[in-house]
């Protein structure tokens, strides 16, 4: 009994030290070291509170790396142990990226402005989603479907921001901007599908831009 009573505080002290080391590594940007430390805590800790901390930081590490499946798994594990609202917020972020992954987007007949922004973020970096401005009424209209003309403008703007101003518009949109205006217009609320960009087209065009930018840098 005496040995058992002495063992628990010592274990807790070791766990606390590990958590502090992991947090310091995370703050310093050493994600590899932080991941290693927090992973060890999840295997060895007997404290739900310590496990929550470890899973929260693991979730944030995986989010930073763009590994959204692992992020969702870690955050779910922490939430199941009684994690607070932070787990929900980071989990929602992981879910948004998973729902906007190329594999998911490519299946859609229409994509929303929010999904396009997330797709651009996944392929080119989160900061570049800013190429999508608010609409004239000042609202982002995140849930609205992306029209072909709007997609053409966004991709052209993205190419310029990324230093690909010399890339031919034909390479990204055969027929150029005029070709995006040819779809028939239906009555309000029943617009023809041809007016909107499909998920497959969006993914294909953005991946083509990514490849062309890579080739241009190689030259």
Q: Would the pTM count as exceeding 0.75? A: no
Residues 95 and 113 both lie in one domain:
no
Q: Which two tokens stand for residue 43?
A: 């295997």
Count of domains for the chain:
2
Whether 6 is covered by a domain: the verdict is no
Average pLDDT per 10 consecutive residues for the chain, totaling 219 residues? 37 74 95 96 89 96 91 95 94 85 88 89 75 75 89 88 75 63 50 77 91 63
Residue 145 β-bridge partners: 112
Residues 26 and 79 both lie in one domain:
yes
Residues 23 and 95 both lie in one domain:
yes
Quote the CA–CA distance of 31 and 33 in Å, as a whole number.
Answer: 5
Q: Which two tokens stand for residue 54?
A: 């470890």
Distance set, CA 9 to CA 42, 46, 168 (Å)? 18, 12, 67
Predicted confidence at residue 157, as pLDDT, reads 87
Predicted confidence at residue 203, as pLDDT, reads 93
Closest to 145 measured CA to CA, from 181, 199, 184, 100: 199
Predicted confidence at residue 8, as pLDDT, reads 42
Whether 162 is covered by a domain: the verdict is yes
CA 104, 174, 166: angle at the middle one, nearest 5? 95
| Residues of the domain holding 41 | 13-99
Closest to 154 measured CA to CA, from 182, 177, 187, 179: 177
Cβ partners under 8 Å of residue 2, min gap 6: none
Quote the CA–CA distance of 180 and 43 in Å, as a whole number.
Answer: 55
Quote the CA–CA distance of 59 and 56 in Å, as a whole number.
Answer: 5
CATH number at residue 60: 1.25.40.10
Predicted confidence at residue 32, as pLDDT, reads 96
Residues 74 and 124 both lie in one domain:
no
Residues 124 and 163 both lie in one domain:
yes
Predicted confidence at residue 1, as pLDDT, reads 32
């Amino acid at each position: 009994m005496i040995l058992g009573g002495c063992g628990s505080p010592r274990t807790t002290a070791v766990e606390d030290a590990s958590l502090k080391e992991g947090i310091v590594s995370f703050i310093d940007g050493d994600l590899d070291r932080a991941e290693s430390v927090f992973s060890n805590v999840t295997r060895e800790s007997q404290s739900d509170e310590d496990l929550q901390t470890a899973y929260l930081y693991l979730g944030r590490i995986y989010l930073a790396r763009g590994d959204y499946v692992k992020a969702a798994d870690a955050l779910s594990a922490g939430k199941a142990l009684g994690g607070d609202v932070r787990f929900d917020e980071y989990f929602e972020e992981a879910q948004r990226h998973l729902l906007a992954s190329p594999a998911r987007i490519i299946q859609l007949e229409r994509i929303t402005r929010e999904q396009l922004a997330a797709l651009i973020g996944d392929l080119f970096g989160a900061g570049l989603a800013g190429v999508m401005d608010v609409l004239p009424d000042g609202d982002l209209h995140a849930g609205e479907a992306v029209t072909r003309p709007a997609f053409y403008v966004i991709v052209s703007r993205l190419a310029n921001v990324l230093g690909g101003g010399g890339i031919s518009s034909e390479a990204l949109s055969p027929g150029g901007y005029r070709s995006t205006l040819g779809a028939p217009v239906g009555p309000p609320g029943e617009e023809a599908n041809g007016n909107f960009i499909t998920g497959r087209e969006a993914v294909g065009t953005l991946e083509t831009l990514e490849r062309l930018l890579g080739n241009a840098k190689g030259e």
